[in-house]
Amino acid sequence: MDTFSSRNRLRWLGLALLAVCTYQTFAVAQVSQSGPSAPDRVEMASVAPPAPMPTSAELSPAGGFAFVAAATPSSKPFVHSFWDRENRVLFAATGTMATADFYVTHANLASGGRELNPMTRLFAGSTPMLASNFALETAGVIGVSYLFHRTGHHHLERLTSILNTSASSGAVMYDLTHR
């Protein structure tokens, strides 16, 4: 078998793309600290019209003006919740494909096959270690997505789950076709 199979190519491609996205995230975060960023969506607030100038009858006995606090419009951008419906679906797909990848990999290893991914090969010695590898992979995807969410990179937040899900599904397809 070729040691750099299509399964490994998909994983390395996913890792390289994730590294580039992470680098771009931090580069954009440093640039955006120097200037204001444009919000995706701004909530509209109602603002009262400015108060007219007070007359002499409205002056206080000390001769000063009475100060009135005025509301300023809110300029906070609309940000979605991390555990919104789309992320829950993406994380469920990531977990499902990691579980499928575990079962297919375990079946191939039990029938005399070998693990082609050098990182997963370290954990392929026992079933609990292999299961923990795929569980930690899923937790890592959620963690990286949360990092992107906190830094305001919501497209990369979703892209992380999509890339991992497609890499795992490619690995499952490769394992099923090369039994």
> How many of the other CB atoms lie within 10 Å of CB of 156?
21
- What's the first-to-final CA gap in the chain, in angstroms? 12
Whether 179 shows a pLDDT value over 80: the answer reads no
Q: Which of 28, 38, 24, 27 is nearest to 160 (CA)?
A: 24
Whether 106 is in a domain gets the answer yes
- Per the structure, the complete domain to which residue 16 belongs is given by 6-32+80-177
Number of domains in the chain: 1
| Cβ 151 vs Cβ 144: under 8 Å | no
Whether 58 maps to a domain, the answer reads no
More reliable by pLDDT, 35 or 130: 130
Query: Confidence band (pLDDT; 50, 70, 90) for 73?
Result: low
Q: Is residue 72 part of a domain?
A: no
d(CA 146, CA 153): 10
Please choose, from the candidates 120, 122, 93, the residue with its C-alpha nearest in 3D space to the C-alpha of residue 105: 120
Q: Is the pTM of this model over 0.85?
A: no
Give the whole-number percent of the chain exceeding pLDDT 90.
45
* Residue 145 domain-assigned (yes or no): yes
Looking at residue 33, what is its pLDDT?
A: 47
| 39 falls within a domain | no
* Residue 178 confidence class, pLDDT cut points 50, 70, 90: confident
The mean pLDDT value for 155-176 works out to: 94
